[in-house]
Copies of this chain bind each other. A is one copy, B any other.
Amino acid sequence: MSLIVHKYGGTSMGSIERIKNVARRIAKWQKAGYQVVVVPSAMSGETNRLLGLAREISDRADPRELDQIASTGEQVSVGLLAIALQAIGVKAKSYTGWQVPVTTNSAYTKARIESIDDARVRRDLAEGAVVVITGFQGIDAHQNITTLGRGGSDTSAVAVAAALKADECLIYTDVDGVYTTDPRIVPEAKRLEKVTFEEMLEMASLGSKVLQIRSVEFAGKYKVKTRVLSSLTDPEMPLAEEAASGTLITYEEDETMEQAVISGIAFNRDEAKITVAGVPDRPGIAYKILGPVAEANIDVDMIIQNVSHDGQTDFSFTVHRNELDKALDVLKSKVQGEIQAKAITGAKDICKVSVVGIGMRSHVGIASQMFETLAKEGINIQMISTSEIKISVVIDDKYMELAVRALHKAFGLES
């Protein structure tokens, strides 16, 4: 029997009416012969409300306690969804992360899943029940509740699908798929029917906010077929039609089709740039700079170091904007003296724009076309970073929309 994991976001769970619609959709899949595991998010606004209460008390709240509090949003959701399923005659049972258990490390507020025990879930599925599991959370080795960070329910869903070897993981969300870029910025943006994990990874991490990046990593690593599709359609729409909608994220490169060179333009306005200027160019410097930053649990995205002059070099990287001050504190207190850097500076008025495409591997000229397009628009490039399937540039914040539109057009994505 086919096993499907459904994931519903906060908007889909946003009211009692919507929860009832989610239940009807799930019932349709079960009636069609699928075993179904569901991972719902907290009702929209609930996580913010809970963390807001904590913030009213203290702006430096203990992350362990924040997780204790924030994890309740999903716990309420699974109970309500189980009741909604039962109310329409579908056998259902809810579990929290610790009940499954979903084991994570102890990095509160941004924990990572280590393992998922599938015994309880399989038993219930065998008995014909729909199993509803909290997203976003788990339990560490010391029985503490942990959360996976914002968007963590996507990761939970894909991880559950991997653990259960599900046939497909359907991520129901308020958009109907993955687009070549954000349609709010480029109205001509087109929905992709398929995208590879690698492309999606670049798209997600670079700011196309459809899926949480770690969910895509999981999907790629464990080869979970994952589909992003809309939860705003009629719950009673024909199953075959629903099953083919949205965007499939796949681990198979589609050899039979003419592959577009570029699959999309991604962007990200949540980052800040840090430059450690005038550091001696010798082995171990990168570690000396980034070690303390990593220890402070600050995620780093782009890292750039160019050739040196006179034995000195500049080292730049980007962090989440909210963590800029913390990162600068760490660098000034623990790093600057140690490595004798001349200056440490940070800037928030930047953005990152990226061209992504698996087809890029075998094509030259993409980078030059990108740089040319930006130059024509008079946009200065502050940093460049490339991988096999993407080219990212950091530019002035205010040019973001202009850059995205120009690139979308230059690479012919609207056609």
Contact = CB atoms under 8 A, between A and B. Distances in A.
Contacts of A75: 68-69, 71-72, 75
Contacts of A19: 57
A336 to B, nearest CB: 30
A306 interface: no
Given A16-B53, A53-B16, A99-B143, A69 B61 contact: no
Interface in A47-79: 50, 53-54, 56-58, 60-62, 64-66, 68-69, 71-72, 75-76, 78-79
Interface string A93-104: 110101100000
A216 interface: no
Interface in A81-95: 82-84, 86-87, 93-94
A347 to B, nearest CB: 32
B68 A78 contact: yes
Interface residues of A, number: 37
Interface in A159-202: none
A16 B57 CA distance: 7
Q: Count this chain's copies in the assembly.
A: 2
A69 B80 contact: yes
Contacts of A58: 83-84, 86-87
Contact of A83 (B61, B80, B83, B143): B61
A21 to B, nearest CB: 12
Contacts of A80: 53-54, 57, 65, 69
A20 interface: yes
Contact of A98 (B57, B71, B98): B98
Contacts of A76: 50, 53, 69, 72
B98 A82 contact: no
Given A98-B98, A99-B143, A143-B99, A57 B69 contact: no
Is chain A's interface secondary structure helix, strand, loop, or mixed overall?
A: helix
A50 B79 CA distance: 10
Contacts of A143: 99
Nearest to A82: B65
A319 to B, nearest CB: 25
Contacts of A83: 54, 57-58, 61-62, 65-66
Nearest to A88: B58
A96 B144 CA distance: 10
A415 B136 CA distance: 60
A59 B65 CA distance: 33
A94 B79 contact: no
A93 B65 CA distance: 8
Contacts of A72: 72, 75-76
A234 to B, nearest CB: 20
> A16, A56, A58, A65: which has the most chain B beta carbons within 10 Å?
A65
Given A62-B86, A64-B93, A65-B86, 4 more contacts: A16-B53, A16-B57, A53-B80, A66-B79
Interface of A: 16, 19-20, 50, 53-54, 56-58, 60-62, 64-66, 68-69, 71-72, 75-76, 78-80, 82-84, 86-87, 93-94, 96, 98-99, 143-145
5 contacts: A62-B83, A62-B86, A69-B79, A72-B75, A72-B76
